[in-house]
Amino acid sequence: MEKRAKNVESLLATSTGQKALDYAIQAAELYMRAAAEKGISKEEAARFRRRCQQLIKFAEQLKAQAPASSPSPVKNGLGLLQGASRLHGNFYPPWSEDPPGAEFQLGPDLKPYIDATVFPLSEDQVANFLAWHRPHELFGPLSTNQDDSLMTQSTQLDLVQDITTDCSVVASLSAAAKIWTGKHAVLSTIMHPFDHERGQPKLSPSGKYIFRLNFNGCARRVTIDDRLPASGTDRALFVINRHNPCLLWPALLEKAYLKVRGGYDFPGSNSGTDLWVLTGWIPEQLFLQREAFDIDETWDRIKTAYEMENVIITLGTGHISAEEGDIMGLIGEHDYAVQDVDSSSRKFLVKNPWRPRFDTPSSSEMDSGNASSPSAGTFWLSIEDIAQHFESMYLNWNPALFTHRQDRHFAWDIPTKDFAASLVRNPQFSITSQAGGVVWILLSRHFADAELEIARNKSGSLAAVASQLGFMSILVFDRQGHKVQLSDGPTYSGPLVDSPQTLARIESRAGKAYTVVIDQQDLALASYTFTLSVFSNGPVGVEEAQEKMRYFTEQQGAWNRRNAGGNSGCTTYFLNPQYKLSVSRATPISALLATSNKDVHVHIDLIWARGKRANTVRRKDLVVSSGGIPSRLRLF
């Protein structure tokens, strides 16, 4: 990481203006990530943080020197990250370093830590809720070695949910069972305190836990206490392990995530997003019901990666008829975990995270430590059956598959309806891979308070809620990294997704600049903040896309009863809005006409009329004409 930061600093030394500012921000972010890396000394971490602060100060100086008249949709990245730290009344600062062990000790008053955050509960949860209890109140007297009782995963990890509507979260926790410990040991990097010698979480004497979760543009610090919602009935209000109901860390990790998402009255998500936040593994969503879905190509991509523990697989259903649900035993709009893959038969061991009613594991299940042994709610399905009966497959990929990563943080004021059919108000970036090859581009929309309120006031299905929040997409153009005006002719056109993340995978040519455009449809809020992450196995230049032409002007106009003259065949044609265009020399020109009225057919005519108003259009006077909605003409 330090080497990458120094490489960016070398580019900073030879740059000026906006490019220098961009490089300063990028280098500061790399040093911030280097300071948080596992295995470095305290002295190195302190040195990285000092360099990060120096670069931030330098970036602020560059920003102050920049012309005030240079508009840009890309705001200061570090300032934006700080602004995105506050969510649902809580503050989640960017992660800087692992907390010391002393932070989890009891204070002088010997009172356990209390997180003052209010965790809202749904009506069903309230009806079963008893109180917020600490582990000794929940599970009764424990063994002398409480770490073994509460934190050791000695049996099969068989996690289930009950009343809490977080199937995507429990499916995520279950599907990631192989990477929490073992060779990837993801849990050791995100949960504190942690016993690194034993490879398991450590019980906090004060009841305080700190998690390193990935959301709103970076890894962030999430602090909770160990109080969990106790039930006054036989229903469970938090995730439990069927084979060891006292296993505490999954419930604490669930609580930390639900704190970020607003509470236990969870309005729903998808497991791709959940795993991105929990693990930082790159989310990809495959739409199984689309004609473009290729079963064989998908199988070839995931089988080896799964065996190498480099991908986590979860599944999501859409609307399911009662007949299909009875035959297949599936639940509509529900997420499932994939717990194993059989390469010889192309089958997946699929787990339903819902807890069977009045369920208690048998003694044989309690004794089983084989993760491939199907337990309640698990079943084998072929990839063909999955493609037929599920709507989505979520793949979360190990970011260590890539040697290079860049993050661009930006804000976007959603354009008015006048520009809804064009891209002139959309964030656009130029991406160039020096060596070429595979480049993954991940767009992540930051969580916002207002979106949670929309989801809580939902009516109907989860799909209906998602449509209320809107959709987003990624478009890639072969335009030498210059800005584009319309969405026609992309080399890659991603699906419009209701998820906060969407991924574009492109095969780039060495040295070729591509234009990446962020698109949307019916996003509910007036403004958002985003992060664009670029993953590659070689250096990639990421800059804000620039206009191909140096000069730009914009005119506002309107048709009304007085000046709506109709087409060129009408005698009132001369009443239409007309503009005089003068150029001092031959030059390419691009003109865009955009309107919010989708029912009106509009176009632009460029006519030789010596700058005077045209009463009609004669073929010999017509230089060029465009058609379509919206309209554009380009002259050379």
Residue 161 in any domain: the answer is: yes
**Pick the catalytic residue: 167, 241, 310, 426?**
167
Q: How confident is the model at residue 236, as a pLDDT? A: 93
3-state secondary structure of 136: helix
Residue 96 in any domain: the answer is: yes
Q: How confident is the model at residue 364, as a pLDDT? A: 46
Ranking 163-172, 478-487, 610-619 by mean pLDDT, the lowest is 610-619
- Told to judge if 352 belongs to the known catalytic residues of this protein, a careful annotator would answer yes
A 10 A CB-CB count for 514 gives: 24
Same domain, 480 and 523: yes
Report CA 504 to chain centroid distance, whole Å: 12
- In the chain, the amino acid numbered 48 is F
CA distances from 130 to 121, 225, 230, 375 (A): 12, 18, 5, 30
Same domain, 7 and 51: yes
Same domain, 314 and 461: no
* pLDDT reading at 459 higher than 70: no
Is the separation of the CB atoms in 517 and 422 below 8 Å? no
Same domain, 496 and 479: yes
Of 440, 417, 413, 591, the closest CA to residue 503 belongs to 440
Q: How confident is the model at residue 326, as a pLDDT? A: 81
pLDDT class of 189 with cuts at 50, 70, 90 = very high
**Pick the catalytic residue: 214, 216, 241, 352?**
352
Give the residue numbers spanning the domain of 186. 91-100+112-359+374-396
Of 220, 219, 237, the closest CA to residue 228 belongs to 237
What's the mean per-residue pLDDT of the chain? 87
pLDDT tens for 311-335 read 999 999 998 888 878 888 899 999 9
Q: Which two tokens stand for residue 139?
A: 């599970």
Q: How confident is the model at residue 63, as a pLDDT? A: 66
Same domain, 308 and 410: no
Same domain, 583 and 524: no
* pLDDT reading at 362 higher than 80: no
Same domain, 424 and 465: yes
Domain count, the chain: 4
Residue 369 in any domain: the answer is: no
Residue 365 in any domain: the answer is: no
Biggest CA-to-CA distance, the chain: 96
CA pair distance 357, 457, nearest whole angstrom: 28
pLDDT class of 75 with cuts at 50, 70, 90 = very low
Q: Per-residue DSSP letters for 355-399? A: PPTT----HHHHH---TTS--TTEEEEEHHHHHHH-SEEEEEE-G
Q: How many residues comprise the chain?
A: 636
pLDDT tens for 194-209 read 999 999 999 999 999 9
Q: How confident is the model at residue 313, as a pLDDT? A: 98
3-state secondary structure of 549: coil
Q: Residue 340: enclosing H or E segment and its boundaries?
A: strand 335-342
Average pLDDT for residues 580-584, to the nearest whole number? 86
Same domain, 414 and 378: no
Same domain, 512 and 493: yes
Beta strand 90-91 pairing with 492-493: unpaired
HSE-CB of 464 using CA atoms within 13 angstroms: 6
Residue 83 in any domain: the answer is: no
Same domain, 67 and 123: no
Same domain, 421 and 480: yes
Torsion of CA 44, 45, 50, 56, to 10 degrees: 130
Domain boundary among 499, 526, 545: 545
Residue 554 in any domain: the answer is: no
- Told to judge if 334 belongs to the known catalytic residues of this protein, a careful annotator would answer yes
Q: How confident is the model at residue 74, as a pLDDT? A: 40
pLDDT tens for 525-579 read 999 999 999 999 999 999 999 988 888 788 888 888 888 888 888 889 888 899 9
Please state the pTM of the whole predicted model: 0.84
**Pick the catalytic residue: 184, 192, 243, 334?**
334
* CATH code, domain with 495: 2.60.120.380
Residue 79 in any domain: the answer is: no
Same domain, 391 and 408: no
CA pair distance 428, 434, nearest whole angstrom: 20
Residue 78 in any domain: the answer is: no
Q: Beta partners for 285?
A: 394
| Higher pLDDT among residues 483 and 629, named by residue | 483
Q: How confident is the model at residue 628, as a pLDDT? A: 43
Q: What is the DSSP letter of 403?
A: S
3-state SS, one letter per residue, for 412-459:
EECCCHHHCCCCCCCCEEEEEECCCEEEEEEEEECCCHHHHHHHHCCC
